[in-house]
Amino acid sequence: MEILKVSARSRSTAVAGAIAGVIRESGRAEVQAIGAGAVNQAIKAVAIARGYLALDGIDVICIPAFTEVNISEQERTAVKLIVEPR
């Protein structure tokens, strides 16, 4: 499964389009965000993607979790959002 990484500077509409595209192709998407700003953009993107996918008759849910990622040899905690059809 492709991991979509979101930063605080990511455009939520662009991320939403990517989420919708991955779900249409693969059936589920994983979104990762580190930091409050990035998590804000990721959550907004999931909400927007629900609207995009609803037009195709696809109802999605979001399952939040924490995950550990290594960045520059440092372990960081990220928020992981699994988005999949209901």
pLDDT (tens digit per residue) in 6-49: 999 999 999 999 999 999 999 999 999 999 999 999 999 999 99
Q: Which pLDDT score is estimated for 4?
A: 96
Break the chain into its structural domains and give their ranges: 3-85
Token digits of residue 81: 């959002």
pLDDT at 1 over 80: no
Read off the tokens for 21.
Answer: 């595209």
Residues making up the chain, counted from first to last: 86
Interatomic CA distance for residues 5 and 81, integer angstroms:
10
Distance CA 86, CA 84 (A): 6
- CA–CA–CA angle 31, 35, 38 (5° rounding): 50
Note the pLDDT tens digit of each residue in 38-77. 999 999 999 999 999 999 999 999 999 999 999 899 999 9
Q: Are 41 and 6 in contact (CB under 8 A)?
A: yes
Domain spanning 3-85: which superfamily? Alba-like domain (3.30.110.20)
pLDDT at position 45, please? 98
Cα separations in angstroms, 56 against 3, 19, 21, 60: 23, 14, 12, 11
pLDDT at res. 31: 97
Q: What pLDDT is attached to residue 2?
A: 77
